[in-house]
Amino acid sequence: MQSLINTRLDTIDRLLLGQVSRVDRVSIVKEVESQIYELIALKDADSISREDVLEILGKLDPPEAYLPEEGSTPERVIIARKKSSSESIVIPIAKNPPRELGRLGGILGLTSLGMLLLSFGVLILIALKNYIQDPQNFAFALGFSLIIPVATCTSGLVVSIIGVKRKFMPIAGIIASTMTISIILALIGLILFFISDKPLSYAG
């Protein structure tokens, strides 16, 4: 009977080799072993037979059920028992947000900073000479040019924070988005100044 149990545990261990970490693999095998002996304890120890052990093993998930799903790389797989029965189910622990979120946050943050600097520079070159005649229109044009950078940097900051993998790109996204927000706040103050300012005139 013990050989049947050992065979099931060895099969699970071999299947999980290279699929999950060693710590998780040992944890899963121990949990399955614990479940098996709990089910055996429910039967009469003096009369338990090979068929009883096979029946118990049949109630458990097959070894393949403990493998991560194809195309995914869960950090851990654990076995959870239902309170109402001894049936086991496999529950993958939720992963941290994937590293792609960090990259996306970095790209959005850097893009927003670049767009802000580019749009602001072009706008300054085009509209600076018209400021004296119509500062309010210049302020409105400046505010309109901030719409896309504001949306992009906000998305970049949120996605970067979600990307908890502390790699270069998430940090770059947070820094770039924060810099962008700081510049935007300064420009908002400049816009308010332009709106409240009166056109300048020169004495002939």
pLDDT tens digits, one per residue of 131-146: 555 666 666 666 666 6
In a domain, 116, yes or no: yes
In terms of pLDDT, which residue wins out, 20 or 176?
20
The DSSP output letter for 109 is H
* 116 and 183 inside one domain: yes
The label of the residue with tokens 């810099």 reads: 179
Residue 88 β-bridge partners: 81
Computed on alpha carbons and rounded to an integer, the radius of gyration of the chain in Å comes to 32
* 107 and 180 inside one domain: yes
In a domain, 204, yes or no: no
* 118 and 76 inside one domain: no
Q: Pseudo-torsion of CA 153, 159, 165, 166, nearest 10°? A: 20
Residue 164 β-bridge partners: none
* 47 and 135 inside one domain: no
In terms of pLDDT, which residue wins out, 141 or 78?
141
* 57 and 85 inside one domain: yes
**CA atoms of 173 and 111, how far apart (whole Å):** 9
Share of the chain above pLDDT 70, in %: 38
Task: Check residue 71 and give its pLDDT.
Answer: 47
Task: Check residue 27 and give its pLDDT.
Answer: 85
**CA atoms of 199 and 176, how far apart (whole Å):** 35
Looking at the structure of the chain, the number of domains it has is: 2
In a domain, 184, yes or no: yes
Mean pLDDT of 179-195: 69
Residue 184, CA distances (Å) to 71, 90, 101, 149, 171 in order? 41, 49, 24, 9, 20
pLDDT tens digits, one per residue of 34-75: 888 888 787 776 677 888 888 888 888 888 887 776 544 444
* 124 and 107 inside one domain: yes
Is the pLDDT reported for residue 200 higher than 60? no
* 107 and 191 inside one domain: yes
* 8 and 74 inside one domain: yes
Q: Which helix (H) or strand (E) holds 108?
A: helix 99-127
Q: What are phi and psi of 173, to 5 degrees?
A: -65, -40
Residue 93, CA distances (Å) to 14, 18, 32, 80, 106 in order? 21, 18, 17, 11, 27
pLDDT tens digits, one per residue of 83-101: 334 444 444 444 444 556 5
In a domain, 202, yes or no: no
pLDDT tens digits, one per residue of 19-29: 777 888 888 88
In a domain, 203, yes or no: no
* 126 and 59 inside one domain: no
* 68 and 8 inside one domain: yes
In a domain, 138, yes or no: yes
Residue-range definition of the domain harbouring residue 56: 2-92
Task: Check residue 130 and give its pLDDT.
Answer: 56
